[in-house]
Chains A and B, each alone.
Chain A
Amino acid sequence: MSPVPAPRPANAYVRAWFAQVRILDDLSAFIQRHGPGAAQELPLLNWSLGGHYALIAELREGESSLETLRAYATALGVEVHERAKPQRTVYSVRGTIPPASVERGEPHSSVLIQLTVHDNLDNANGGTPMDERVTVHGQDGDAR
């Protein structure tokens, strides 16, 4: 058998392992609560575990992707942030999912869901680069 890589400082490894197991548990419970037939059914996302945010999902640009983002914002009780950049707009939702176990005292698993919408080529080539601006949408989808 190949040797197992030299461990990082024991505490860091153990912490990372525990965090991942917990995130998976929390996410699994969240998905179960919002599955087919649930009061707040949510589309499935391709989740990534790890990094600065415990859970990250990148939505593909599509007909219903902004609706999906809004549905998640509503379920998480947060707002959709909009950031205009040259040639694209980035919509994001940052929140936390509740722990799967109510007795758990640790911090909640943080979530970041992002959608990047690229401008039409006509628009991108026709104007001067846009300054970055940030808009926050309420849960009804209206910009404030």
Chain B
Amino acid sequence: MNQSTIKLGSGAQIKTVSDAWARQLRTFDDLYGFLLLHGPSMRQPLPVLEWTLGGYYALNAELHDSEDAMETLRAYADVLGAKVYMRTTAHRIVYSVRGALPPARQGQAGPATDVLIRLKVARRPGGASGGAR
């Protein structure tokens, strides 16, 4: 197993296999708690995303460009208390939300579970699409 140091978005580092294992379980736990908080019939239900666990951010999700993708991104930004950022490249606009999930268990030690959600929209000739706050 890879024993090298892993840097997390929060600046924390993981140095051992046990740390990485505990970290992954914590990520599962936090995401599980988050999904329960925002499931059907809850006060702030959120659309289901395809999450990827691991990497620089503990959790990543890539939204497909669709009619309601921007609304979905904004809904997640609201819930996470974060902003939607917009970056324009030559061929596309990348919207992103960076935040952290609340710990599933009260008083849990260690860094928060960092989240990155992105939406890539192809640039249309003559103007940008969507809009960020």
Contact = CB atoms under 8 A, between A and B. Distances in A.
Check if A and B associate: yes
Contact of A43 (B1, B47, B55): B1
A3 B71 contact: yes
Interface string A1-38: 11111110010011011001100110110011001100
Interface string B104-126: 00000000000000000000000
Interface in B4-56: 17-18, 20-21, 24-25, 28-29, 31-32, 35-36, 39-40, 44-55
Nearest to B19: A36
Given A17-B40, A36-B21, A24 B35 contact: yes
B36 A31 contact: no
Given A5-B75, A21-B39, A24-B32, A46 B53 contact: yes
A51 interface: yes
A8 B50 CA distance: 16
A39 B2 CA distance: 19
A48 B52 contact: yes
A14 B45 CA distance: 11
A3 B45 CA distance: 11
**In the complex, which range does the number of interface residues on chain B fall in?**
35 or more
Nearest to B16: A36
Contacts of A3: 71, 75
A5 B69 CA distance: 8
Interface residues of A, number: 31
Contacts of A130: none
B17 A36 contact: yes
A67 B31 CA distance: 29
Given A2-B74, A17-B35, A21-B36, A28 B28 contact: yes
Interface of B: 1-2, 17-18, 20-21, 24-25, 28-29, 31-32, 35-36, 39-40, 44-55, 68, 71-72, 74-75, 77-78
Report the 9 A-B pairs with minimum CB-CB distance, sorted nearest first.
A46-B54, A50-B50, A2-B74, A5-B68, A28-B28, A5-B71, A16-B48, A48-B52, A43-B1
Interface of A: 1-7, 10, 13-14, 16-17, 20-21, 24-25, 27-28, 31-32, 35-36, 43-51
